[in-house]
Amino acid sequence: MAKLTVLTGITTTGTPHLGNYAGAIRPAVDASRRGDANSFYFLADYHALVKRQDPAAVHQSTLEIAAAWLAMGLDPSKVIFYRQSDIPEILELTWILTSVTAKGLMNRAHAYKASVQANQDAGNQDPDKGVMMSLFCYPILMAADILMFGTHQVPVGRDQKQHVEMARDIAQRFNHVYEELFVVPEAIIDDNTAVLSGLDGRKMSKSYDNTIPLFAPEKRLRKLIMKIKTNSLEPGEPKETEGSTLFEIYRAFATEQQTAALAQCYAEGIAWGEAKQLLFEFLNEMLSGPRDEYERLIADPGYIENVLKEGAVKAREIATPFTARVRHAVGIRPLG
Ligand code: TRP
């Protein structure tokens, strides 16, 4: 059977945290090791511009995210690992797709609607106040990312499902108007992937500023774990595992046996301080090897640049001829 093509992008904003590892990096690295799919992983740096207009931050985040994926075991010889902006064909395709994308479809995008709603709530006359075209067209760029490589499956978090559905709509529209060039992709949302809570108990996310960075130095890691919100139960009082952020983080990375052992400690009334110390030791042990590797990689950005450039060569072996077919299909052809 022909291999499936699986693709996902990572927006280059922020520093990689434990939630990113559990939700995206670990499942992707595991899948790439199984080798049963053609996997594409890329750094969505053009998407980052929608959210951050801070050049130094976008640049640093690109380095950190690339280093994190490599340090956690992504093997760039088994997958195509590249940076979106190294593939100029993606922007070419984006423009072509804008011509088969109804404005009304983009009006329905959650992120855009949230901005409009915020303007209305604030009593602004102009519902589009402060909305950049990049935010409005974000789903089209994402469709180009996906459709460029004949992607069958897009593993994403629930928040990205609508974007993949829009990519489907756009692909179908193009296939109908011009030629059947695009594979119609499918979002894969794995309910078993852990969605971690952060320090304050809400979903761990850079937008809530409640994250535990994946490669925080040991001391800082300990300090952050000590800050995780618990309740006022005293040592000796039995504690619920359900709804305990500490427990949830431990369970996301521990074996079943280890998890059962911690549940037992909860039932026996382990002190919160002790449970935190346990989580710290566990995570520190798990992360200390990768952390050394991460630091080595961060100190050698030229190496990472080369890895990404090699990935771009592989990606363009597909993107260049495919874009030529798309151009031909829409009538952009040599004259003689
Ligand atoms: N929008 C995605 C996010 O913020 C990142 C992304 C960009 C992406 N292009 C993609 C994900 C293509 C999957 C496929 O998480």
Q: What is the 3-state secondary structure (H, E, C) of 188-245?
A: ECCCCCCCCECCCCCECCHHHCCCCECCCCHHHHHHHHHCCCCCCCCCCCCCCCCCCH
- Any domain includes 205: no
- Any domain includes 171: yes
Are 285 and 308 members of one domain? no
Closest C-alpha residue for ligand 1 atom 11: 9
How many other CB atoms sit within 10 Å of the CB of residue 259?
Answer: 16
Label residue 1 by pLDDT band (50, 70, 90). low
Are 39 and 178 members of one domain? yes
What tokens does 69 get? Answer: 């994926």
Are 175 and 277 members of one domain? no
Q: What ligand 1 atom has the least distance to the C-alpha of 151?
A: 14
285 compared with 159, residue with greater pLDDT: 285
When divided into structural domains, the chain yields a total of: 2
Is the pLDDT confidence value at 131 over 70?
yes
pLDDT per residue as tens digits for the range 172-224: 999 999 999 999 999 999 887 888 999 999 999 988 999 999 999 999 999 99
Domain that holds residue 160: 4-194+300-330
pLDDT per residue as tens digits for the range 73-107: 999 999 999 999 999 999 999 999 999 999 999 99
**CATH number where 280 lies:** 1.10.240.10
pTM for the whole structure:
0.94
Residue 205 Cβ contacting ligand 1 at under 6 Å: no
Ligand 1 pocket test, pick from 65, 141, 142, 205 with the greatest ligand atom count within 8 Å of Cβ, gives 142
Ligand 1 pocket test, pick from 12, 154, 156 with the greatest ligand atom count within 8 Å of Cβ, gives 156
Q: What is the pLDDT of residue 89?
A: 98
Residue 164 Cβ contacting ligand 1 at under 6 Å: no
Are 108 and 160 members of one domain? yes
pLDDT per residue as tens digits for the range 13-42: 999 999 999 989 999 999 888 888 999 999
pLDDT per residue as tens digits for the range 240-253: 999 999 999 999 99
